[in-house]
Structure 1
């Protein structure tokens, strides 16, 4: 059976050393906490994930959810785990103190999210959707709506969902048909059917607050005509108490390849009472608050599954005896050497380790920028951070989930035939990881977002936010000869990215199809360059720690060796990607449709 250990040591390194928290001392969320509190949150979060969630993962996958008389029953243990999660205050970790949250910084929320996903991805879907729903209401709801819905949601007593997709429309939300008719009291009747709604019905919480996109009478066609509504499972009276059941029901559960313990529902609204958020016909813009948060969260799912799959691959590689090392036996007292001595197994493990730790650093830094964007008292600081978050959202979603699926596949390969067997648990990681490349906007959509929107956003300031960080880091490394082996590849990759960015921008101005042809390769090129920045920054910290003398020299030397591997064996992929982008879109679009 698989196991999991929260990567607390790496999170501590990233938060205490990789992030410059002293430069962010004006953040309200940092004024009330110190290193001891941060470490306590990490340790307790890891303990909960290791001891409570991970043991439920395989049984929850085997059992799945059940639909009985319109009610969804989650796998055994899920309810108790959620109760423990709620009683310990985890739902409100990063939530607004004004409505009962703890107001902790988002980088702690990212750390907890990764560990939850690694331990039990299916279970983690329920609080993740609730978090996104309360964030949207907090950002765009009226004061009355905030007072009504947020305290219970932040406390974990109520959860939330995002209702977008219908049977005839997924990415193209302009085709939504769900109707909203205004009533005399200012509320609305919502009628329609939504599909693939994660956590749409379950038995973990007392109420479920659905956020539903619908079209009011006379609204224009397309996305401009969409409005956003709060539609609760149970209506709530003026005192905040639960009332009668609303006219919203789960009509079916989807049977899925993975995340089987997460209820994916068909939701039917039959003149259900709903409450408008914001203005009519402004719904999609508001929903992007939740969608963008969900995209970052989905990226963290890829990272978490990569992390747990890698851990189990390492354990197997240390134990599995097969063959002898090419340069002679390493364990002559045993009938064979463990497979970790073989170069190809090392290759798979090193790719996994380099991608996971590089991505984790990028995620934690992005979470700090999100914290600055939302809570920093200085408007200019908020704007700068917002550019980074906007730029990295499609990269984190797409690159992390592509990486997550690749690493879980490598973990299966390390296990050999044993990885294909259910008992080892590796095949579940692979199945669970696959959906993350699809939902919350396919990775191809994320690539189009990066090329089509982010390159030109804010008059170029959005994409410039990355180059500014790289230039700052390269300047810090300029007089440090020991850093040349990291800084030089980063500088070369960054220049390659600059030139390719300019080429993509020029080409798509002449032919919009060129943007689509280049987009997926361009996103990966950008992601690998961002990873090079991440590893150069980690390497500089490690190098200085070793030079200054440290009791944790082994940890820092491992960081340096992993950074060297990334620069030598992973970053060169950018050469091929740049060449593929330069080739243009003609070969992609050359065939007539009938030729396929």
Structure 2
């Protein structure tokens, strides 16, 4: 792997941080008038790192990202190939980790780089989603397994949002301090995406303690990390067997009270244990209220996890792009570097523009999370009721945008990263098919992104309804696009405008398809077209915020991206017309 500072060595990351992101709106939402700094001035040492101005906030965020970039490029990158070869092992009922991985996790903990998802009140770094997006992309770029080992603790942010004050005070400072890893325990042997059918049973014992019985499968880091135990956030049934989603509740379980039946032998992520967990009268602490486990708590955790997979997709794509560029500049064929050969140069340029567009979409999702999530939290701190929150127009706008962008971004960034990793293998030629180059590991690790935390097909199901209604005459998605478009100069957006016209036409054809089966069969293509339209729009918007001397090159990438999108949409429109005509002829 390249051994640089993984924050400062990517020009596009620097552009986003320094120019493209509107930090004022993010800081206003997250720092809430710099109230944490006021608490520090009042004597509360927990808020010692809290910024007291916009400049301090941006500098604090940048310092963190430079630190994690240096850590990724210097403390992790030299070892990832060996870690992948060694992997984790299951011996005598225990998961055995490579010592180097445990050393890296300890170093990350000691450097204070783990608790990105917790507020300063509980010992967290206290950063918004937009900063976490950079943070995660950097770590996923270097190695997905190591990133999971370091960052899995942040799944417990759902406890901060939904737990009682007693539960938060008891667990969150210890989690933020790195005393525990964290795992999400949803999937069972017979129930993956079909969460309402889960069978793991929780029986009330006393107070908020229940006894859990059942089996969970595909539980990442369920065993903890070496000497660091885990807490598992589990979904279990408190209602009767036929109660569906309303009978599910959310629990905190300690790894010392479970059995690990084994770990999966996987294509990739060799240093990330995927465990089968057995629960036998295992004590669990109820989080929130009975019956709210799926709709209120688990979906909230999944939204954050899915944004994390979007970031993973961009990070892996950036890793593949970096390795492909390096190899193409060093590999000499026909007396010149292969990167100068038009066919190879074409691949590299496509990889670059696709990665840049993915990053725009992913960071817009993080922005929506910031402007929705933290506004809601601050309103609740001021005593707002659920009714107040539901009637808040600004909050509702960003909540709706976040709910649309989360599944679209997860779908698009994961599917795209697999394609880009495949392109990187192609650039390496026969060498890419060997284990001698990091690109092999990158390609293998990319493949899981379209599967875990909800397959691409689940993301399509989660987003197609919002897209269809959102594109009605007065729909929310149309409003969002029109609002962004109103700031664009028309002379630079012809390709994007043509894509928008065709997109609206194909959406009209799609809505008129009479059979739900025909719509379901085409839904993935509609979501893909939507993702490309949004990415192209955001990619172009980014050119309006950067120094003038950099615009020409970026605009050329934007035009090429939107030309690709235009070709895709024309093809989809033709297919939909044929489908609609064949249905009418029957």
CA contact 1:178–1:193 (8 Å) conserved in 2: yes
Would the alpha carbon gap of residues 199 and 572 (structure 1) be closer, same or farther in structure 2, given more than 3 Å must change?
A: same
* Residues 76/558 of structure 1: CA separation in 2 closer, same or farther (3 Å cut): farther
8 Å contact from structure 1 (residues 525, 578) kept in 2:
no
Cα distance in structure 1, aligned partners of 2:284 and 2:360: 41
Say yes or no: does 1:151 pair with 2:153.
no
* Bigger Cα displacement from structure 2, 186-195 vs 564-573: 564-573
The separation in 2 between residues aligned to 1:160 and 1:429, in whole angstroms, is 24
Q: Deviations over 1:461-488 (max 9, x none)?
A: 8x624x334323432233xxxx624x12
Aligned to 1:88: 111
Cα distance in 2 for partners of 1:77, 1:520 equals 41
Q: 1:312 pairs with 305, 323, 327, which one?
A: 323
Label 1:494 to 1:155 Cα distance change in 2 as closer, same or farther (>3 A): farther
Match among 238, 254, 261 for residue 264 of structure 2 = 254
CA contact (8 A) 1:528 1:571 kept: no
The answer for unaligned runs of 5 or more in structure 2 is 35-50, 380-391
Partner of 1:367: 366
CA gap 1:458/1:409 in 2 versus in 1, 3 angstroms: closer
| 1:85-484 matched pairs, under 5 angstroms | 85-132=108-155, 134-204=156-226, 206-216=228-238, 218-233=240-255, 245-246=256-257, 248-285=258-295, 286-323=297-334, 336-376=335-375, 379-453=392-466, 455-456=468-469, 464-465=476-477, 467-478=478-489, 484=491
Determine the C-alpha separation between the residues in 1 that align with 2:229 and 2:204: 24
**Could you list the per-position Cα deviations for residues 96-137 of structure 1 after superposition, in whole angstroms to 9, with x for gaps in the alignment?**
1221223212111110101101101111123443212x1211
The aligned counterpart of 1:11 is 13
**Helix, strand or coil: the match of 2:225?**
coil
2:509 aligns with 503
Shift of 1:280: 2.2
How big is each residue's C-alpha offset from its partner over 1:13-39, in whole Å with a ceiling of 9 and x where there is no partner? 213321223345532437423433333
What is the distance in 2 between the residues matched to 1:88 and 1:95?
16
Task: Answer whether contact 1:3 1:312 (CA < 8 A) is retained.
Answer: no
- The more displaced of 25-34 and 250-259 is 25-34
Q: Secondary structure at the match of 1:534?
A: helix
Specify the alignment match of 1:532 in structure 2.
536
SS of residue in 2 equivalent to 1:90: coil
Contact 1:78–1:204 under 8 Å retained in 2: no
Q: CA deviation at 1:151?
A: 1.3
- 2:563 maps to 1:579: no
The Cα of 1:578 is off from its aligned counterpart by 3.0
Shift of 1:187: 1.2
- The answer for the alignment partner of 1:44 in structure 2 is 67
Is the 2:499–2:562 Cα contact (8 Å) retained in structure 1?
no
> Which residue does the alignment assign to 1:239?
none
In structure 1, C-alpha distance between the alignment counterparts of 2:103 and 2:582, rounded to whole Å: 55
- 1:569 to 1:185, Cα distance in 2 relative to 1, 3 A: closer
Aligned pair count reads: 545
TM-score of the two chains, using structure 2 as the length reference: 0.87
Query: Is the CA contact (8 Å cut-off) linking 2:509 and 2:580 kept in structure 1?
Result: no
Q: Which shows bigger deviation, 61-70 or 248-257?
A: 61-70
Distance 1:402 1:144 in 2: 41
Which SS does the other structure have where 2:449 is aligned? helix
* Distance in 2 separating the partners of 1:47 and 1:150: 27
Tell me which of 460, 482, 488 is aligned to 2:494.
488
The one of 70, 74, 91 aligned to 1:68? 91
The whole-number CA distance in structure 2 between the counterparts of 1:475 and 1:356 is: 26
Which residue of the partner structure matches residue 23 of structure 2?
A: 21
TM-score where L is the length of structure 1:
0.86
What whole-Å deviation, never above 9, does each CA across 1:289-314 have from its counterpart, x for those lacking one?
A: 11111111112111111101110101
Deviation at 1:514, TM superposition (A): 2.7
Q: Deviations over 1:551-578 (max 9, x none)?
A: xx3x544323322322334542222133
Which moves more between the two structures, 524-533 or 451-460? 451-460
Q: CA RMSD in A?
A: 2.4
Structure 1 CA distance for aligned equivalents of residues 581 and 142 of structure 2: 45
Distance 1:582 1:127 in 2: 49
The 1:26–1:458 alpha-carbon spacing in structure 2 relative to 1, beyond 3 Å, is farther
Partners of 1:343 and 1:571 lie apart in 2 by: 23
2:365–2:402 CA contact under 8 A, matched in 1:
yes
SS in 1 for 2:114: helix
- Counterpart CA distance in 1 for 2:147 and 2:223 is 15
User: Quick check: 1:114–1:300 contact (8 Å CA) kept in 2?
Assistant: yes
- 1:410-461 CA distances to partner (integer Å, 9 max, x unpaired)? 0000010011111112111110000111111110111121113554479998
Instruction: Determine the structure 2 residue equivalent to 1:592.
Output: none
